[in-house]
């Protein structure tokens, strides 16, 4: 990617951690003084978080058969003024964000409809819980006071924390993290001075994920990520693989 690129066009690449180190540093300097880019990055992070959560739930066993069956029965909708209106949604930024929002909406609505046809109540409850988490993550990432801090995690991986002080909530976003050793799990922590309190477990089978941190942010000044035994620990048993200072 060219370092001479217009920084306003790099919001998507930054949100997906696809910038080279020198580009990332230059863009973060631009981000500190560009309110529109800051807002767009948060919106794209929200979308990526929601899509990541949607992908984390396995598809119902009958999903493929149901889709193939419906393909033979449902006609494609013709073009209408309402369906073509999305082509005229103002500038390129709004169009990209509207498209991403449509992807999320379609995935959520389609998934909800299919889950309702499953007989297993536990699977239905799990889907509802995942959607509730996705909604809360989106609310944190799109909050007016949302602020983000990022750091490298074990070299190539990257971790970001988005904090909304008004909601007293935080979201940890991992990108490219190595799977933990068998029988171990990444655990999140809030740091209240010298005291660490548990803030949730990450999915050990996923290298990219968004996690709504358990418990309120409160007076925490940083978050940590450690490797712990499966099931988690009451206090960290290893040195942090990542430590992020929370925005004030």
Sort 129 into a burial class: Cβ within 10 Å, 0-12 / 13-18 / 19+: exposed
The C-alpha atoms of residue 40 and residue 37 are separated, in whole angstroms, by 5
Q: What string of DSSP letters covers 142-207?
A: TSTT-EEEEEEETTTEEEEEEEETTTTEEEEEEESPPPPPTTEEEEEEEEETTEEEEEEE--TT-S
The C-alpha atoms of residue 168 and residue 227 are separated, in whole angstroms, by 25
The C-alpha atoms of residue 222 and residue 243 are separated, in whole angstroms, by 7
The C-alpha atoms of residue 127 and residue 116 are separated, in whole angstroms, by 10
Segment 220-232 shows an average pLDDT of 93
pLDDT at residue 247 tops 90: no
Beta bridge partners of residue 171, listed in sequence order: 162, 212
pLDDT of residue 152: 81
pLDDT in tens, 196-205: 999 999 998 8
pLDDT of residue 153: 81
pLDDT in tens, 61-98: 665 666 666 656 655 555 444 444 334 334 444 445 55
| All structural domains of the chain with their residue ranges | 7-73+86-141, 147-245
pLDDT of residue 199: 95
- Ordered strands of the 184-192 beta sheet: 195-201, 184-192, 222-229, 242-245
Instruction: Considering only residues 243 and 112, tell me which one the structure prediction assigns the higher pLDDT.
Output: 243
Q: What is the pTM of this model?
A: 0.54
């Amino acid at each position: 990617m060219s370092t001479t690129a217009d920084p306003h066009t790099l919001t998507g690449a930054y949100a997906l951690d696809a910038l080279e180190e020198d580009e990332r540093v230059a863009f973060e300097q631009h981000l500190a003084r560009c309110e529109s880019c800051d807002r767009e990055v948060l919106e794209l992070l929200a979308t990526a978080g929601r899509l990541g959560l949607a992908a984390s739930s396995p598809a119902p066993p009958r999903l493929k058969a149901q889709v193939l069956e419906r393909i033979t029965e449902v006609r494609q909708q013709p073009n209408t003024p309402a369906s073509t209106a999305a082509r005229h949604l103002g500038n390129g930024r709004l169009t990209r964000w509207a498209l991403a929002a449509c992807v999320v909406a379609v995935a959520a609505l389609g998934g909800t409809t299919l889950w309702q046809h499953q007989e297993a109540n536990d699977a239905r409850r799990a889907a509802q819980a995942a959607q509730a988490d996705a909604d809360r993550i989106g609310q944190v990432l799109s909050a007016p006071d949302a602020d983000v801090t990022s750091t490298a995690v074990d070299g190539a991986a990257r971790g970001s924390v988005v904090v909304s002080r008004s909601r007293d909530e935080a979201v940890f976003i991992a990108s490219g993290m190595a799977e933990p050793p068998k029988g171990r799990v990444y655990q999140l922590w809030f740091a209240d001075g010298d005291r660490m309190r548990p803030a949730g477990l990450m999915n050990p089978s996923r290298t990219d994920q968004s996690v709504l941190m358990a418990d309120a942010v409160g007076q925490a000044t940083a978050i940590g990520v450690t490797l712990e035994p499966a099931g988690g620990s009451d206090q960290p048993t290893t040195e942090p693989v990542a430590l992020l200072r929370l925005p004030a």
